[in-house]
A and B are shown apart, each in its own frame.
Chain A
Amino acid sequence: MRCEPEIGKAARGRYTRAMAVAAVLYIGVVALGVTVIDRFAPPAWLTIVLALLPLAPAMIAVRAYLDYFRALDEFQRRVQTEALVVTLAVVTLGAFSYGFLEEWAGFPHVPLFWVFPAVMLTWTVAQIALRARYK
């Protein structure tokens, strides 16, 4: 008989490994970008390439998550889906509201790349809360 909990563990292992690779790669490309831009004042086209390089590890992470999601059973998928809906709502409404605060109330500008950490943080909290709710 196929043993889903074992498959779940294997999928989690593959996910963890892929995320570790993505994290190392991310640190590498960011360090490369910062170093090249700071020390060599590269032309605009190279700066754009360097700025887009962190997308590569992000795509690895997205692919790893999709593979992990597909290996989950129906209940676990439901938890993940609810967590993603909560994350989408919190982050988009947060960004939307803060945009008005910036424009109208003079709040300090927050760079767009903070959206990604905000998604990851909210998603983690949502997963913990939902798992506790279904316990």
Chain B
Amino acid sequence: MRNRLKVLRAERNWSQADLAQRLDVSRQSVNAIETGKYDPSLPLAFRIARVFGLGIEQIFSDETQAEQAAE
């Protein structure tokens, strides 16, 4: 699963620690999600969407769907 977490965070000038605090998770968790090494649970994905004031699909995208759309 792809995500725009790093870009969205940079737009708001938030560090990983800032975002982690807003999400009630560890900084390591934010880093793992950003780098695509960990896909968050649905409740955490909703929390992320709420923090950025966006819909989940505006932040996360399914790789297979994204690849198919590109083709």
Contact of A74 among B21, B22, B40 (CB under 8 A): B40
What is the CB-to-nearest-CB distance from A21 to chain B, in angstroms, rounded to a whole number? 25
Contact of B17 among A5, A74, A78, A131 (CB under 8 A): A5
- Interface pair B37/A134, CB less than 8 Å apart: yes
- Interface pair A76/B24, CB less than 8 Å apart: no
Q: Which A residues lie within 8 Å of B54 (CB)?
A: none
- Interface pair A74/B41, CB less than 8 Å apart: yes
Q: Which A residues lie within 8 Å of B38 (CB)?
A: 75, 78, 134
**Which B residue sits closest to A135, measured CB to CB?**
B31
**Which B residue sits closest to A73, measured CB to CB?**
B25
Question: Interface residues of B: mostly helix, strand, loop or mixed?
Answer: helix
| Chain A interface category by residue count | 10 to 19
Within 8 A of B (CB), among A68-92: 72-76, 78
What is the CB-to-nearest-CB distance from A70 to chain B, in angstroms, rounded to a whole number? 14
Contact of A73 among B22, B24, B31, B37 (CB under 8 A): B24
**Which B residue sits closest to A3, measured CB to CB?**
B21
- Interface pair B28/A75, CB less than 8 Å apart: yes
Contact of B25 among A4, A131, A133, A134 (CB under 8 A): A4
What is the CB-to-nearest-CB distance from B56 to chain A, in angstroms, rounded to a whole number? 16
- Interface pair B26/A1, CB less than 8 Å apart: no
A54 within 8 A of B: no
B interface, CB within 8 angstroms of A:
17, 20-29, 31-33, 37-38, 40-41, 44
The 6 closest A-B pairs by CB, nearest first: A75-B29, A4-B24, A73-B25, A134-B32, A134-B37, A75-B38
